[in-house]
Amino acid sequence: MPQYPDGVALSGMIEIKKFRIEAMDLSALDFLRHIPLFAHCTDEERVELAAAARELRVAKGTPLFRRGDPCEGMHVLVYGRVSIVVASKNGTEKVVELIQPGQSFGEAIMFLGGERYPVGAQTVEDALVLFLPANAIFAVLDRDPRFARRMLAGLSMRLHGLLRDVESYTLESASDRVVTYLLQQLGETTSGTVTLPVNKQLIASRLNLTPETFSRVLQRIVEQCDVVVSGREICISDRSRLAELLKSA
């Protein structure tokens, strides 16, 4: 997993799911203490940010901002999932990124000052999001170089991820993209069950595929690799057999 400076993980280092149960009893300050980006801020800085933060408890399918809206700060996802999307003139949406709990989004535009969002953001699950105004973030950045480095590291990792996406869309086949995605979700284990974090249509869009192409590729994988698909759960009995598809492409 990618790391921030000082060894702070971008996401996954915290038991964020417990917030779904306890969220009604927790404050913005409590959330910030458990978000990796703010782990090394001082108590005073977290209090300052929490005082300026707005808690957004939003239902699945709620737009957080749309393309063309003014950017006045950044967002941090506490729980749930958010899709970052680009919409075409005919209304078709392309998922650029899926935001996971613990991740921030919108800060790149915030640093440009007065710019409008070039993309939209929408919840794909019920979610809790913290909105942090730009002036509060800038005040902490002015005093805390470690916080600035962690934020720069997060932006750099996101840029690298986008570059990898462009490479994948340009050089890899549809089959390679799906196989690579499944292997990444499986991790280092030799077998196991991958649970898709969102529906297959969103996964397909994230991989720059049509839902029909994604389904056809998945069916070929089922036939060739003894993989079982049940809804969002994909049972992979042999990682090496799945990986062989990349070598044979």
Task: Enumerate domains of the chain plus CATH numbers.
Answer: 5-170 (2.60.120.10), 173-248 (1.10.10.10)
The two three-digit tokens of residue 181, written as one number: 């995605």
Instruction: For residue 236, give the 3-state DSSP assignment.
Output: strand
121 CB burial (10 A radius; 0-12, 13-18, 19+): buried
% of the chain surpassing 90 pLDDT: 41
pLDDT in tens, 118-149: 999 999 999 999 999 999 999 999 998 888 88
Q: What is the pLDDT of residue 34?
A: 80
Q: What is the pLDDT of residue 178?
A: 92
Q: Are the beta carbons of 192 and 186 closer than 8 angstroms? A: yes
Query: Per-residue pLDDT averaged across 228-236, rounded?
Result: 91
All residues at 6 or more sequence positions from 217 whose CB lies less than 8 Å from its CB, including other chains: 174, 175, 178, 209
127 vs 216: CA distance, rounded Å: 31
- Give the end-to-end CA distance of the chain in Å, rounded to a whole number: 27
Q: Are the beta carbons of 11 and 36 closer than 8 angstroms? A: yes
In the structure, how many helices (H) and strands (E) does the chain have?
Answer: 10, 11
More confident site: 70 or 4: 70
124 vs 240: CA distance, rounded Å: 32
Going from the C-alpha of 206 to that of each of 199, 209, 243, the distances in angstroms are: 11, 8, 21
Q: What is the pTM of this model?
A: 0.75
